[in-house]
Amino acid sequence: MSAIEILGEERWVDGRSVRIRPIDRSDLELERRFVMGLSRRTAYLRLLSGRGLQPGELERWTDIEPSREIALIAVTGEGDAEEQVGVARCVRDDRAPPNWDFGIVVADAWQGAGLGEALLGHLIEQAKAAGVEALSSITLPENRRMLALARRLGFTVRREPGDATLMRVERRLGAAVEAPAPFRPGAPATWRAQAASGRGIA
């Protein structure tokens, strides 16, 4: 059994716990604090640029359309102390409806212990259950951990056609996916993901 379960919780000796659950419009303030707390480097990899938030983006990221989007967040703490520490989502690509764009971001303090792998693994399973045929994303060549994570979970990695500055990761969802690795706060770095798709999904 994975140390992180969808809609579940696991506690460790250091007192930290994490839950992965669907995002909700009531999570607007959680999402705001999460995005504003990202380091400049992580935010750059997430948006593939140095731009700031655009008007209405936070509202779009929390008030989703279930027919065209899946969004999971990782949270820790309870009540007023609840904190968002990661997010993974996919959105239908209207240019190629069988394919959905995905993105994943992990808070800086929670990177390097497998939370990104758990989030992406759960997103894959949710997407498969919803009938999504393929997940695809673009990232920067320098985001080596994202590329390593994608390869580990069965994604193909190639240069983005027409733009040598970007990498495309893609996976058909017919094949079984490896179960997410156990999440161990403070463990040696394994896999993490910091980038979202080129649409700035967060």
117-138 pLDDT per residue, tens = 889 999 999 999 999 999 999 8
Name residue 28's amino acid: L
pLDDT one-digit tens code per residue, 52-64: 667 688 898 899 8
Residue 42: the pLDDT is: 85
Q: Domain segments of the chain: what residues?
A: 10-172
Q: What is the DSSP letter of 155?
A: -
Residues 107 and 41 sit within 8 Å (Cβ to Cβ): no
Phi, psi for 117 (deg, rounded to 5): -65, -40
Report the percent of the chain where pLDDT is more than 70: 73
pLDDT one-digit tens code per residue, 164-179: 889 999 999 975 544 4
Rg (CA), the chain: 16
CA distances from residue 164 to 44, 93, 138, 139 in whole angstroms, order as listed: 18, 22, 11, 11
Residues 147 and 139 sit within 8 Å (Cβ to Cβ): yes
- Residue 11 pLDDT class (50, 70, 90 cuts): very low
Q: What is the CATH number of domain 10-172?
A: 3.40.630.30
pLDDT at 157 exceeding the cut of 70: yes
pLDDT at 67 exceeding the cut of 60: yes
The 3-state secondary structure of 34-48, one letter per residue: HHHCCCHHHHHHHHC
